[in-house]
Structure 1
Amino acid sequence: MSEAKTPGTDVGGVEALTERRIVDAALAVLDLDGARALSVAAVARRLGVGAEAVHARVDGSDGLERTVIESVLSAVALGSLTDDGVEWTAAVIQFALSLRGKLFDHPAVAELIMSGPMDSPSADGPVAREMTEALFVCLARGGLQTTVRAHGVYAVLVYVLGSIALDVAETDGKPPLPGESERIAARRAALGDLDPTRWPRTAAHLAEIAAWTSVDQFVWGLRVLLVGMTAT
């Protein structure tokens, strides 16, 4: 008589668990309940397997987070960064918009990137390193000095991830996120009771402030950052 198998696994509970299945289950947990809900046990429950099977495949909770992050980052378009036919600032903007879009698809992953197991540069996965390398190539194409490139790559990543975090913070963090026009309208409504006699300069720019989470604002700020690098 053949040995009964745990649903979704091979004998021993590991062989049939592919990385893709684990990532899909992890993203489902993240999308539904947020970054704090992600754990080896939560993913195992969703897959209908024992936690030890998932643990063995991804090397624990830190490994699980890295695997999910790497999977999402692998979908970000990097080609423009190393393409001599694409002007360098335009290339960075294209990359940033691609990263923004992928993280908006799974907002909790942005939180993982900023608060997860990226405890040192050596902890970055190969996809994250490829992204960083491509940014260095792009800034070199822009003629930036060596030290400026190093500061510039970090500045771009901080700007992009920080902007995404602030945008997501104004939602419930569950995909699909509200559309841009809906988010701008909600921000404008929230500013409706601002006292113009107390904060007159702020009150004069309510329309622009409401659109701080827009694509136009995102691109504007990034372009200013990139142009500023050429003046240092």
Structure 2
Amino acid sequence: MEELRRRIAVGELGAGERLPSTRQIIREWGVAMATATKVLSRLQEEGLARVVPGVGTVVAGREVVARTPVQDLTTRRIVRAAIAVADGEGLAAVSMRRVATELGASAMSLYRHVAGKDELVHLMADAVYGDDPPPEQVPRGWRERLELAARQQWRIYRRHPWLARAISLMRPEFVPNGMAHTDRLLRALDGLGLDANTMMHAVLSLLGYVRGAAVSLEAEEQARTETGITDDDWMRAREAELERLFASGAYPTLARVVAQPGLDLDLDSVFEFGLRRQLDGLAVLVARARDGRRD
């Protein structure tokens, strides 16, 4: 932070010029994401920087350091600022104070629109679900409709990796746009001979699978951002360690499978494989229901 403060003080960075992003700070100074985030937040608190929507954090001039007027704040602006923080740094980085800093407002002014972080996260989830409406042309087959909806959810998790940890299947918040996704899944199964209990179990199992596959997304993205190391580079750096473990003979089947040519794993391929197996299982259930069997 001292280096950026110095550059601002001597005029190397003038009013309105863009400051390095958190990722640039990580790469240039080799610090963790939390430290990089704290640097920009501290400069904003000191009135040396401000956030410009669509641009990033810039050097503040004397004429632009005043806080955002209360009347300019809206719930939507607050929610969108919080989503931007979560997308870039994870849900743990979201706080009322941090969002207020991003908006150039006081933390107390946010409470006129949002009761606290719990409500804010609720509104964030509703907003990102609503950003991806269903397509106008919906397939007729139940399997194709479930597949389309599941992939849509996966895309949402991909864009917003924090979302998987922000929701619960068994203690769900009443998120209208999220409930609309669930309703579409139920409609795909409606009229196939499944009773209500089976329909709900089938839908929650599918939702649980997609969410479970997505839980790793935030940690993976944060690791890449903080270290600048790709997944392939990470594995290559540990090849010697892995060879030693396999040489011990403790994991013979794992060692044999991993050594096979053509092995290609990433989160997307694992998701696609599991989704097909989930739908294969539901196809058996639907066939039994159509035959009048309930076993």
> What is the TM-score normalised by the length of structure 1?
0.76
Aligned to 1:131: 181
Matched, 1:109 2:157: no
Aligned to 1:146: 196
Amino acid at match of 2:189: L
Matched, 1:48 2:48: no
Aligned to 2:57: none
Q: Among residues 267, 276, 280, which one is paired with 1:223 in the alignment?
A: 276
Question: Which deviations, in whole Å up to 9, do the C-alpha atoms of 1:82-134 show, x marking residues without a partner?
Answer: 93x343222222222222222222222332225xxx8844x322111111111
Unaligned stretches of 5+ in structure 2? 1-65, 286-295
Contact residue 144 and residue 229 of structure 1 kept, 8 A: no
Unaligned stretches of 5+ in structure 1? 1-5
Q: CA deviation at 1:33?
A: 3.1
Aligned to 1:38: 94
Matched, 1:69 2:103: no
Aligned to 1:7: 67
Amino acid at match of 1:101: R
Contact residue 149 and residue 185 of structure 2 kept, 8 A: no
Contact residue 107 and residue 174 of structure 1 kept, 8 A: no
Aligned to 1:201: 253
Q: CA deviation at 1:163?
A: 0.3
C-alpha root-mean-square deviation of aligned residues, in Å?
A: 3.3
Amino acid at match of 1:87: G
| Residue identity (%) | 27
Cα pair distance change 1:61/1:228, threshold 3 Å: same
Contact residue 40 and residue 51 of structure 1 kept, 8 A: yes
**Structure number with bigger Rg:** 2
Contact residue 89 and residue 223 of structure 1 kept, 8 A: no
Give the structure, 1 or 2, with the largest relative contact order (CA under 8 Å, sep 6 or more).
Answer: 1
Say how many residue pairs are matched. Answer: 214
Q: Distance in 2 between matches of 1:96 and 1:189?
A: 34
Amino acid at match of 1:7: R
> What is the TM-score normalised by the length of structure 2?
0.61
Q: Distance in 1 between matches of 2:206 and 2:75?
A: 30
